[in-house]
Amino acid sequence: MGNLGFLTTLSFGPGGWGPMLLSGALMTVALSLSGFLLAGVIGGLFSWAKICGNRPVRYVADVYTTVIRGIPDLLIIYLLYFGGSQALTLLGKLFGDGQFVSFPGFLAGMLAVGIAAGAQQTEVFRGAFYAIAPGELEAAKAYGMSTPVRIRRIVVPLLLRHALPGMGNVWQLVLKAAALVSVTGLAELMNKAQTGAGSTGKPFDFYCAAALLYLIISAFSGWSLRRAEVHYSRGVKR
């Protein structure tokens, strides 16, 4: 009967909470992907700064990675969400609107997750670049490839080959950090699970369902990243 009640509660039929949890899972995927892409952009810029930048630029990149990796992700979310809300409220007062203006939860979550994961991605890209054999870059230069062609045909494929395992770890961190964005009221998976648990008085059922959905997302994304590793490792002896 317990199992039957669990399936009935989480079903897609009348009175079931399945559609709500599924919409929360889709929001979690959208938030995680957005944050992961932003982290990739940030990581690319700051890894370039650490590799090719002058001393002040490298110093800024070092400060960024040191500070962000030393701050909890939840604190970054709070700073962006409540700080952004305060800034928007003050801006509204300048235009005669005295009401509180809330910073969009999705935008705050995406920025917080992207900034937090960007520090990790910076080190992943930097390590992957230094793993490329210098002779391969020198051969491309000796062949007469221009810098854009060299980056597109040599550097990026080789860098991804070395970076993908680390990027997979960063993705798992992003997926877990996305659960913290529920504190902003964003209707992602944890928020939906908390709503269902509070409404039905069955927290164990909803949190088990949320854990199962997280595992499904993690398993599928892990399989996709392994396929990408195989693709970029073609012709390499394992």
Where does the pLDDT of residue 10 fall: very low under 50, low under 70, confident under 90, or very high at 90 and above? confident
Instruction: State which amino acid sits at residue 60.
Output: V
The pLDDT of 195-216, averaged and rounded, is 90
What is the pLDDT confidence band of residue 4, given thresholds at 50, 70 and 90? low
pLDDT band at 1 (very low <50, low <70, confident <90, very high): very low
pLDDT of residue 95: 81
Please name the fold of domain 25-188: MetI-like fold (1.10.3720)
Share of the chain above pLDDT 70, in %: 96
Domain ranges of the chain: 25-188
**Mean pLDDT (whole number) for 36-53:** 93
Give mean pLDDT, residues 203-232: 89
Residue 62: both structure tokens together:
């070092």
Could you give the C-alpha distances from 157 to 166, 168, 169, 211, in angstroms and in order? 15, 16, 19, 35
Alpha helix stretches (DSSP H) within 132-188: 134-142, 147-150, 156-180
Q: What is the tens place of the pLDDT at every residue in 139-182?
A: 888 888 888 888 888 888 888 888 988 999 999 999 999 999 98
Whether residue 15 contacts residue 200, with contact meaning beta carbons closer than 8 Å, is answered with no
